[in-house]
Amino acid sequence: MSVTLLIEFLYAGDLSTVYELSAVLMHHGSSAYSGHYVAHIRDNKELVAKDNSVFEAWTREMDAIKESMITEGKMNQAEIRSIYEMLPAATTDYAEWVSTDWLRKWLSDKYKATPPIDNSSLLCCHGRLSPEKYQYSKRISCKAADVLYTKYGGVPRLQRDSMCRECVQRKCRSIQFRLRLNEDDKAIKALNKPSHKISTTSSFNRLQELSFLIFIEIQDCSLQCIIDHKVYGK
């Protein structure tokens, strides 16, 4: 609606009608497709300016923060990938042990900040690496361990001499004891197993019976062949 038509509409009726201004919207720019808007809105009898350039500035700030987070995330992923490639340790190389539970946290995206390395769950009552909890640890190269401990810190650091000798000896004795129990159990079962010996005479008689039956079957087969030849010409 043009300004002229608007004026005509407003004053078409009673000229004594009074209108109260609630808001004014102004556009700044060369066309309707560019520039920005400024609104003056009445609030408690005062016109308050609302400039969308403030919103645009906030939008640009949010975009910058988002871009920064994406860049930081990509850098972290690249760093984790490079360390992950260092983890495998050759069989002949010195290595260290790290809790697999902590490694899962390190590789997970749930944690905004990776906690320090915690290997306390792998320790025995003597404060050393327990052979019973060895399966909950990961053997990694010393190079990767240096990088991880430098970046994240943590204790204790389980190196090649951290395995508890006392616990290993006790576990070996336990394994040897179980093996002896299994051998004794097999020996006892063998002694209690009933024997099934067959006498020589009964074996010979049984062999004769089988031989006679085989002979009868051969005779029957030969007789049947003669009958077929004479009767059917086969």
Higher pLDDT, 100 or 91: 100
Q: Using CA atoms, how far apart are residues 139 and 158, in angstroms rounded to an integer? A: 10
Q: Using CA atoms, how far apart are residues 131 and 164, in angstroms rounded to an integer? A: 7
Is 70 exceeded by the pLDDT of residue 184?
Answer: yes
pLDDT tens for 78-89 read 888 899 899 998
- Residue 220, pLDDT score: 52
Please name the helix (run of DSSP H) or strand (run of DSSP E) that holds residue 38, with its range, or none.
strand 36-43
Q: Using CA atoms, how far apart are residues 193 and 82, in angstroms rounded to an integer? A: 62
Higher pLDDT, 179 or 91: 179
What letter represents residue 45's amino acid?
K
Q: Using CA atoms, how far apart are residues 101 and 108, in angstroms rounded to an integer? A: 11
For 131, counting Cβ atoms within 10 Å of its Cβ (0-12 exposed, 13-18 middle, 19+ buried), the class is: middle
Q: Using CA atoms, how far apart are residues 141 and 224, in angstroms rounded to an integer? A: 83
Is 90 exceeded by the pLDDT of residue 102?
Answer: yes
Which of 62, 59, 60, 41 shows the shortest CA–CA distance to 50? 41
In Å, how far are 2, 171, 225 from 11, measured between CA atoms? 14, 103, 131
- Residue 103, pLDDT score: 92
Rounded mean pLDDT, 21-44: 78
What letter represents residue 125's amino acid?
C
Residue ranges with strand state E in 133-206: 137-141, 154-155
CB 128 within 8 A of CB 167: yes
- Residue 126, pLDDT score: 92
Is 80 exceeded by the pLDDT of residue 104?
Answer: yes
Higher pLDDT, 64 or 19: 64
- Residue 94, pLDDT score: 86
14-18, 143-147, 215-219 — most confident range: 143-147
pLDDT tens for 193-233 read 765 554 555 555 555 555 554 455 545 555 445 444 444 44
- Residue 166, pLDDT score: 92
Mean pLDDT computed over every residue of the chain: 77
What letter represents residue 135's amino acid?
Q
Sign of CA dihedral 156, 98, 176, 190: positive
Q: How far apart are the first and last CA of the chain?
A: 117
- Residue 217, pLDDT score: 52
In Å, how far are 57, 173, 174, 182 from 169, measured between CA atoms? 69, 6, 9, 20
The two three-digit tokens of residue 16, written as one number: 């004594």
- Residue 201, pLDDT score: 54
Of 2-16, 122-136, 163-177, the poorest mean pLDDT is in 2-16
Share of the chain above pLDDT 90, in %: 24
